[in-house]
Structure 1
Amino acid sequence: MGQRGDTRRERAYDGELGEAVTRAQGGDEAAFAVAYRIVQPGLLGYLRGLVGEDAEDVASDAWLEIARDLGRFRGDGAGFRGWTATIARHRALDHLRRQKVRPRATALEQDVLDLPGAHSTLEQALESLSTERALALVAGLPRDQAEAVLLRVVVGLDGPSAARVLGKRPGAVRTAAHRGLKRLARQFGAEGVTEDGSRTLGESG
């Protein structure tokens, strides 16, 4: 997706992010700008998967709420990433309701399936596609699967954090993400990218 490297950097920045948030809560505007710089790319990618071309507007609304309620936040850098994702999701759902486009209800199995490892070949395949194209493919998934994949791969949340954002059990989120990644693997085959991350030449997936 062009985002896997970004995800690794986001996690590496969580210490810096936590420090910036603490300073921002004390009124340091420059520190708030640092927190914004670290969080915004992943947050915007997540919102693009939910609301498409309206992501910038929804992100602006979310950051207004984040700034307003910053003093209420308690936690570290990773926690802040999850907190901001929750706010952004609420604003995205409000936006969809205003458009009278409601998320599809999907019955999730409660069995526990593990996501692929950090260096999974599927996520390498995600990297081999353009960000815009990959996000379009993810947006075509059932909503529960799309959100699970976006939160895990784009925003960089761990399983429990993603589950808290979605208000679901971790096992249900892992199931949705696993199914979404499997479906994307099949789509990548049709795009000329095999599940092992290599490209095909003149062959159908």
Structure 2
Amino acid sequence: MDSRNFKNTDTITGPRSEDVLPHTAAAAVKVVVVGGFGVGKTTMVGSVSEIRPLTTEETMTQAGIGVDDNYGSESKTATTVAMDFGRISISEELVLYLFGTPGQERFWFLWNGLFEGALGAVVLIDTRRLAVSFDVIGRLEERGVPFVVAVNSFPDAPDHPVETLRKALDLEPAVPILSCDARRRESSRDVLMTLMRYLHSLAVARA
């Protein structure tokens, strides 16, 4: 990957395109957006995708009571049961395919298939429920999938210093941690650009 593509976010501009892969695209990269239930994965994929996002949301039912941890998401009425899918062009040549994973633990058996072939991942977290992120990060580490951590903004969520979060999540010093608002395209885009820069730095280090 050419590092010139990742110096800033100005290359990702313009309105959302039609559902057609740009004719200039020379490379496509698979990225997964993971996290616990209700952390904003569907929102992030939808906000940043330049095509109409594919979602597999179903209405939540009484069957999930006592099974799904919906703390902080009590008003949530639908949930992803398979995956979310979107696409964004980083440059004229490079396209990211985004796959959002289901957050409810009873659907985590689907993650292995979604991780297959992924170059990197975004771990979206809610500081009100940090504990759910431990298993998420552990699964990525087991699979050897590089990732960045994005702290989604919620009005009543505690604000912790980056190094406090790094220690709590037991992350290596090199793993990027940044704040974001998954509802905003620019913010979600910046998270993906951070992931691309991180992946490039890992590739350079290996070389």
The TM-score with structure 2 as length reference comes to 0.26
More strand by share: 2
Report the TM-score when normalising by structure 1: 0.27
